[in-house]
Amino acid sequence: MDGHAFVDRTGVGSADACGTGAESGEHGDPPVEMMAAAVASHTRAPVVVTLGANGVLSCGADGVSTTRIPAGSARRVVDTTGAGDTFNGVFAASLEG
């Protein structure tokens, strides 16, 4: 059975989406929007890509509609360890209503 049958949302970081962390097609990698659209089209599920200090990219299940949400500003960043896990946890919890 295809594992994608159980997926209704997909979330990845830009390093996973593009292979090298390239967000805008540097190093010969496709732009993150293109990669998100490919994953959404394949899974038929919305895709959320975290972009670190550049915020978040959301791609609809149609693989066409995309939205960029900028990151909030911080007075002083001390340590980003666990930032992605925190984002994913809050994001997952918000899906439950």
Inside any domain, residue 26: yes
Lowest mean pLDDT among 10-24, 58-72, 76-90: 10-24
Look up the domain containing 26 and give its range.
3-72+83-92
Inside any domain, residue 11: yes
Inside any domain, residue 77: no
pLDDT in tens, 2-56: 444 444 555 556 555 554 444 555 566 678 899 999 999 999 999 999 888 899 9
Task: Give the pLDDT score at 26.
Answer: 57
Inside any domain, residue 97: no
**Among residues 12, 6, 20, 71, which one has the least CA distance to residue 36?**
12
User: How distant, in Å, are the alpha carbons of 27, 45, 87, 89 from that of 81?
Assistant: 26, 28, 12, 14
CA 20/CA 18 separation, integer angstroms: 6
pLDDT exceeds 60 at position 66: yes
Tell me the whole-structure pTM to 2 decimals.
Answer: 0.68
Task: Give the pLDDT score at 60.
Answer: 93
In the chain, what is the straight-line distance between the N-terminal and C-terminal CA atoms, in Å?
29
Inside any domain, residue 16: yes
User: Under a CB-based contact definition with an 8 Å cutoff, are residues 43 and 7 in contact?
Assistant: yes
Task: Give the pLDDT score at 40.
Answer: 92
- Report the domain count for the chain: 1
CA 1/CA 90 separation, integer angstroms: 30
